Chains A and B, each alone.
Chain A
Amino acid sequence: MFQGLTLEQAPPYIIPIKFYLTAVLYLIAFSIMTFTYALHVSSRYEYEVIAITHIFTIGFIAHIMFGSLFQMLPVMLSTAYTNVVKNAKTIHIFLNIGIIAFVIGFLLNSTPFLYLGGILLALSFLYFCFLSLKTIFLSEAFNALVQNFVASFVALLIAVVFGFTALLGHFGFVDTIKYGNIHIAFMLFGWVFILIISVSYKIIPMFFVAKEFPSFLQKRLYIIQLILLFLFAYAQMQEESLLLLASKILLSSSVIIFAIFSIKRLKQRKRARKDISVTLWYFAMGNAILTSLLFIFANLLHVNISFYIGFFALFGTIYPLINAMLYKIIPFLTWFHLSSNMVFDAEMGNVIAKKNMTMQINLYFFSFFLFLFVPFLHSFILLATIVFLFSSLLLFVNIIHAKKYYNEYIKKKVVFE
């Protein structure tokens, strides 16, 4: 019989789950806001578009990433976050007030709200980076995976600085587009991409019985990506168009290389069973390649397809990948916390019903394909958004189910006197 785990560094179960649930609430808000504003916007620079984009990027993506790191880093490093309960709560509050103020600021074009939101968001990100880097440097482990995490935090810090500077540009202090582009590059090609590759290096071999990623990829890709990002920033600031083009092409090439390796690893897995998460992963990686190619061609041919690139990057690549990761991480997390509390009859496969996961993912696929018809018939965006709203609601229900499962089983915990 299984004897239980010893994992003193892991934070309480509720911390990652609270971040995940909040993230999905923003996904619901994203659907509602897209439904409300989609027919009236035409450029990515419109304030409504910036508000909707940040609901997705900060509201959804950042919450998922913070929640996952609060759980993953201590377990991998064998070092706990300092005062994790208090610090996670503080960051959660600051982040949420920050997002709400920021979004209201853009929707109402209100300077005080934009400043309040910008400051609170910058503080939340900086404090989270500080806490995570402190945890890393207190631990003795400094393997390739941890180095990848450090690189993603470096990218996040730089992205926050440029994002905040771009915000000042809305009031005429600096060139918003220039700083905004560097902010987006460091966020997407830096923080999000490096974090996704770091987590994939762990999750793909662990949950899919696949081979590990080649060590040159694990040890070198994040360094190459950071160097390219610095070149991009330099080229953008100095308006060196050739260097800017080259850095964009190379940044996209890194994404393509990673996507090809992921597909290859999944294709070669030892126990190739039918798994909806794998389908989602293939879908995300296919879109990552498509997005990168679109980005390269748009820059080479000077065509403005930024809406399509944004759609395929955020909705076609990052979202399904996070969705797939959640359906591996949450059941494992639930089982893992129950086991470390000496509750042994919990089954990972029962944490979230397979049928509900499949239904939610199919709703996402359906909404994605409806979005593809929007260029031909604009009103399709409303239908696609409604379908995605149902997908998000079901994702929320599925996470709640995991939490209920945990609450039910933790009552069986045996307390030794």
Chain B
Amino acid sequence: MDTKKEILLDVSELEAPYPLVEAVNALHVLQDDEVLVFRHRMNPQMLFQNILSLGLQYEITKENENEFEMRIYR
């Protein structure tokens, strides 16, 4: 995974539903050699099912108050 190209998606200043819209759009175009670094101000509970349904994997790398980051990849 370390060799994959990082694509940063920071939605922490967007209001609902745009963080979800942006994330789902990015997931659909994510390539095998890419990793999506997703940043938000909160845990995106509605996103996880979408990630799994596309056969993608995720790893939460930061989950503090007002700070959430995860890496999504194939």
Q: Chain A: residues with CB nearer than 8 A to chain B?
A: 1-9, 75-76, 78, 205-209, 211-212, 214-215, 270-271, 332, 335-336, 339, 348
Contact = CB atoms under 8 A, between A and B. Distances in A.
Interface of B: 13-17, 20-21, 24-25, 27-28, 41-42, 45-46, 48-50, 53, 65-66
Given A206-B16, A209-B13, A3 B41 contact: no
B21 A212 contact: no
Nearest to A335: B17
A261 to B, nearest CB: 13
Given A76-B45, A271-B13, A1 B50 contact: no
Nearest to A8: B49
B18 to A, nearest CB: 9
Contacts of A335: 17
Top 8 closest pairs, chain A to chain B, by CB: A6-B53, A3-B28, A206-B16, A209-B15, A6-B50, A211-B66, A205-B42, A2-B21
Given A5-B46, A7-B46, A336-B17, 13 more contacts: A2-B21, A2-B24, A3-B28, A5-B24, A7-B49, A78-B48, A208-B15, A209-B15, A211-B41, A211-B65, A212-B42, A214-B65, A339-B17
A99 to B, nearest CB: 33
26 contacts: A1-B25, A2-B21, A2-B24, A2-B25, A3-B24, A3-B25, A4-B24, A8-B49, A75-B45, A75-B46, A78-B48, A205-B41, A207-B15, A207-B16, A209-B14, A209-B41, A211-B41, A211-B65, A212-B41, A214-B65, A271-B15, A332-B16, A332-B17, A335-B17, A339-B17, A348-B17
Nearest to A331: B17
Contacts of A206: 15-16, 42
Nearest to B47: A5
A348 B21 CA distance: 12
A339 B18 CA distance: 12
A214 B65 CA distance: 7
Nearest to B53: A6
Nearest to B29: A3
Contact of A270 (B13, B16, B25, B49): B13
